[in-house]
Amino acid sequence: MPLTANNPDRKSWLHVDKNSDFPIQNIPFGVFLTRDDIVTIGTRIGDTAIDLGALHQLGYFEGIPLTDDIFLQDTLNDFIADGRKTWRAVRNRIADIFDSNNKTLKDNKHHKEIVLFRLDEIEMQLPVQIGDYTDFYSSIEHATNVGTMFRDPDNALLPNWLHIPVGYHGRSSSIIPSGIPVHRPQGQTLPNGADAPVFGPSRLVDFELEMAFITTDANDLGEPIPIKEAEEYIFGLVLLNDWSARDIQKWEYVPLGPFLAKSFASSISPWIVTLDALEPYRVEGPKPLKPQLEYLQFKGKKSYDINLEVSIRPSGAKETVVSKSNFKYMYWNMAQQLAHHTINGCPINSGDMMGSGTISGPTPDSYGSMLELSWRGEKPIKMKDGSERSFINDNDTVIMRGFCEKDGTRIGFGEVSTKLLPVFKRK
């Protein structure tokens, strides 16, 4: 089925600002609470949210095989499970309904009142029920920086790193949408020079600039996904701030990897931008530095040119951009990650989420964490209000943004914005 929704010449009859992340070529999917307190599945064009449940009930998806209640749900899991053919048909139809040449909905005032919402009338929810969350470690710059700081600059990458997309199983119960604040976690840390740990608030709370992909039902137990099919099972991507407590992490991570230093919160942007919408922004990724085993070898462009940016907004002050990176720097791509994840026969379900790992670029201003940007706190970052940051302070808000741009069309993710609150206190 052709991807007519991506036609760069199409204009919408809905207003779209020039620098909007959400032109009619985007058509992301999300879940929101409406002004009438109803949860529905929707999309967004410009600054207008569109109730897909209402559109479906009014017959606008006629001819596409969809169950009656597919958009009247709290999550996108069932829609995602319908597969790529259905996602594509629905995106194409939405593009058609809102095309400036189509007057059907445009001239139906009553229908528009039911279907369209201003952004201040809705509240974005988590788009999917995330059954399983896996986080990779796929940026060579990030892995090299961390290895240089904590182990040995001459052997910064561990021997497995150039052969395996390294990952760990994360925690899905603490994944939250943009806008939900996070408390500074407490835990065990080992102060420098001490021989016993202490308990208290983490002093090194950090962000990790990541993207995450959301999967559909992919395989049965025991069945690996071949790398050439892997992208068929990727619905779309979100921005991910994988909150980390570096001091807790340093003490706990040996030998099984991160645990409580990561599971206190992971924040995602609420609109899932489909892999279909990102099709025009495919690029070559980094060349492998060592031969990769056959199940990880791929053909074609499997990386995506997505500009990424992180800002910190201190309480009551203006935000300061602290990092500019790009998703295309990832050494291991999503197809390799999914092929590797399933090579042992582990099943992947609709609504699973896979984090890329911190996305650091080659230059010091493109690093994807404060750990790297401030180089373990040795080089604090100057903020616009004159203060300095080595890590994240109480009441700081961390904002991540991402967008693709080519030939005058811009497709973006909006933002994931999260305030760090002081340690939780029982009332």
Give the residue numbers marked as catalytic: 142
Which range in 109-117, 157-165, 206-214, 226-234 contacts Mn ion by CB under 5 A? 206-214
Angstrom distance (rounded) from CA 208 to CA 202 = 16
**Number of shown-chain residues binding Mn ion (CB under 5 A):** 3
CA nearest neighbour of 91 among 7, 16, 31:
7
Binding mask 160-199 for Mn ion (x = CB under 5 A): ----------------------------------------
**Residue 227, Cβ density class (10 Å: 0-12 exposed, 13-18 middle, ≥19 buried):** buried
Q: Minimum distance between the CB of residue 160 and Mn ion, rounded to whole angstroms?
A: 17
Which range in 58-66, 135-143, 321-329, 400-408 contacts Mn ion by CB under 5 A? 135-143
Which range in 26-34, 200-208, 229-237, 369-377 contacts Mn ion by CB under 5 A? 200-208
Residue closer to Mn ion, measured from CB, 242 or 247: 242
Residue closer to Mn ion, measured from CB, 167 or 314: 167
Q: Is 206 in the site for Mn ion (CB under 5 A)?
A: no
Taking CB under 5 A as the criterion, the residue among 242, 247, 252, 396 binding Mn ion is 242
Contact 273, 236 (CB under 8 A): yes
Name residue, tokens 């099709």: 279
Which residue is closest to Mn ion by CB?
Answer: 242
Q: Minimum distance between the CB of residue 356 and Mn ion, rounded to whole angstroms?
A: 8
Helix-, strand-, coil-residue percentages of the chain, each rounded to 5: 20, 25, 50
Q: Minimum distance between the CB of residue 405 and Mn ion, rounded to whole angstroms?
A: 26
Q: Is 252 in the site for Mn ion (CB under 5 A)?
A: no
Residue closer to Mn ion, measured from CB, 208 or 319: 208
Cα–Cα distances in angstroms (integers) from residue 279 to residues 12, 42, 62, 238, 305, in the given order: 20, 21, 26, 15, 10
Q: Minimum distance between the CB of residue 289 and Mn ion, rounded to whole angstroms?
A: 22
Name residue, tokens 């609470």: 33
Taking CB under 5 A as the criterion, the residue among 21, 82, 141, 208 binding Mn ion is 208
Q: Is 135 in the site for Mn ion (CB under 5 A)?
A: yes
H-helix or E-strand containing 91? helix 84-97
Residue closer to Mn ion, measured from CB, 208 or 372: 208
Contact 414, 271 (CB under 8 A): yes
Is 417 in a helix, a strand, or coil?
A: strand
Is 76 in a helix, a strand, or coil?
A: coil
Q: Count CA atoms closer than 13 A to 65's CA, side-chain side.
A: 5
Q: Minimum distance between the CB of residue 137 and Mn ion, rounded to whole angstroms?
A: 7
Which range in 12-20, 134-142, 247-255, 271-279 contacts Mn ion by CB under 5 A? 134-142
What part of residues 336-365 is at the interface with Mn ion (CB under 5 A)? none
- 310: which strand partners? 323, 400
Q: Minimum distance between the CB of residue 142 and Mn ion, rounded to whole angstroms?
A: 9
Q: At 263, list the tokens.
A: 């599971």
Which range in 58-66, 120-128, 130-138, 269-277 contacts Mn ion by CB under 5 A? 130-138
Angstrom distance (rounded) from CA 3 to CA 96 = 12
Exposure letters 113-143 (e unless 16+ CB within 10 A, then b): eebbbeeeebbbbbbbbbebbbbbbbbbbbb
**Residue 73, Cβ density class (10 Å: 0-12 exposed, 13-18 middle, ≥19 buried):** middle
Residue closer to Mn ion, measured from CB, 242 or 309: 242
Residue closer to Mn ion, measured from CB, 265 or 338: 265
Footprint of Mn ion (CB under 5 A): 135, 208, 242
